[in-house]
Homo-oligomer: A and B are copies of this chain.
Amino acid sequence: MPKIVDHEKQRSIVAAAAIRVIRDNGLEHATVRTIAKEAGLSVGSMRHYFATQAELFAFCMNLFAERVKQRVEALQMSGTVLENMKNLLLQFLPLDEDRKMEMEVWFSFSAKVLMYPELKKLSDQMHNGMYLSAQLVIQELREHGMAHPDLDAEIETEKLYALVDGLAIHTLMQPERLSVQRMEQVIEQHLIMLCQP
């Protein structure tokens, strides 16, 4: 089915072009015209790949969500429980330039979610993924008998989830202040605190 393969490949090329435009110029400049130009396609052919702008944006968001999922699934989990849990949480943080770019664009989309219900489902999926990871971390600490016995699992899940997302946003907004190393320290210290006797 060469036609279908090409179609999917072309959609990916359009999405990659859209992501570059959004990163460099902001979401409000990501028009069909600018994205078509960046992708080296005619404006007319764009409709062939994405019927609406929202469909294109949803495709991009899904791309990011898949990357995070793949990173999480590829984790080795070969260290101590604390190391493994820290590594899991770090997958949601902009640790390198590629992820920083992904998250900057994701952040632009997120600000649209309040207005565009089409994007809300994808945003919710990513948020649920983060929430479930935070939940898993708390569960693991409990199952290994490491968590403080008085720890309220639901509250701590909510807290860990907010902490990770807050760090991600702070490092995007103020990278000069909050380094990758610092984020790692904060996560590590928090996990240690949850285990304090």
A104 at interface, CB cutoff 8 A = yes
Q: Which residue of B lies closest to A116 (CB)?
A: B26
Stretch of A10-18, A64-72, A83-91, A164-172 lying at the B interface = A164-172
Residues of B within 8 A of A115 (CB): 25-26
- 19 A-B interface contacts by CB (under 8 A): A108-B111, A108-B114, A111-B111, A123-B173, A127-B170, A127-B173, A152-B189, A155-B189, A159-B186, A159-B189, A159-B190, A161-B166, A161-B170, A162-B163, A162-B169, A162-B170, A163-B166, A165-B169, A166-B169
Taken residue by residue from 170 to 191, chain A's Cβ proximity to chain B (1 for < 8 Å, 0 otherwise) reads as 1011100010001001100110
A124 at interface, CB cutoff 8 A = yes
Neighbour of A162 across the interface among B127, B152, B166, CB < 8 A: B166
In the complex, the 9 A-B pairs of residues with the closest C-beta atoms, listed nearest first: A162-B166, A166-B166, A111-B111, A26-B115, A28-B28, A165-B166, A162-B167, A155-B189, A163-B163
How far, in whole Å, are A128 and B56 apart by their CA atoms in the complex? 36
How far, in whole Å, are A112 and B110 apart by their CA atoms in the complex? 12
A196 at interface, CB cutoff 8 A = yes
Residues of B within 8 A of A111 (CB): 27, 107-108, 110-111
Once the chains bind, are A155 and B28 in contact (CB under 8 Å)? no
Residues of B within 8 A of A152 (CB): 189
